[in-house]
Amino acid sequence: MQKNSFSIMWGDSLLEMLPSRALYLPQTNEILICDIHLGKGEYFQQNGIPLTNNSDEKNLLRIKNIVKKYNPNKLIILGDLFHSKYSLTDSLKMKLELLYETLNIKIELIIGNHDIGCKVKNIKFLDYKISSNFIFSHEPIGKFENNLLNICGHYHPKVILRNSKDKLSFKCFAMDEENNIFYIPAFGDLTGGYPCKDSFKKWAIISEKEIIEI
């Protein structure tokens, strides 16, 4: 069944999965995204690969639209806001500082492996964070405590749907119920993905407005 969002409960907390590749936590009024990889185009250009850098503008615009729609108290980025410290240009720093002023909300970054060495104003950097029934991290931590759900990125989860003639790959949300891990999809456009294990529960993003439970 196709929907414009899917919600699940963890304890007494609601998680709303959005086809915009974001997770909304209504109890705390927070939006979570991950793996944007800003500056990836510039990084590849520096290494002789002619990759467009237009995706940065598109990704930042999508962030603005989500915040405008849901009006959260806080934006939490679960790692890899940047692709590399070597592609963090003055122009990109300025865009992020302007983003903070435009959104006028708190922004927290759980440091990912690609964020090492990157610093910008007005964004709080954290190794991980425990909030309510959740522990936010970039890479999966696993069963921290039985009542805590580890919400993370890094994995770039995707699911492959097949029929008799074709197969298609979609970004997805994924739940590893055995280890209390909930993966959210990579937000950035220039990001690949890894197929989820068959044991994971999955919700595929099939368009900018539709998500389906697998």
Stated pTM of the model: 0.91
Residue 74, domain CATH = 3.60.21
What is the tens place of the pLDDT at every residue in 27-60? Answer: 999 999 999 988 765 645 555 555 566 678 899 9
13-17: average pLDDT: 97
| Cα–Cα–Cα angle for 152, 112, 94, rounded to 5 degrees | 120
| Of the candidates 52, 68, 73, 80, the residue with the CA atom closest to the CA atom of residue 20 | 68
Task: Quick: pLDDT tens for 86-144.
Answer: 778 888 888 888 888 899 999 999 999 988 988 888 899 999 999 989 999 999 997 77
| Structural domain total, the chain | 1
As a whole number of angstroms, the distance between CA 156 and CA 172 comes to 8
Q: Which helix (H) or strand (E) holds 162?
A: strand 157-162
The residue range of the domain holding 195 is 2-213
Burial 6-41 (b: 16+ CB within 10 A, else e): bebebeebebebbbbbbbbbeeeebbbbbbbbbbbb
- The token duo for 130 is 């425990």
Q: What tokens does 187 get?
A: 């937000």
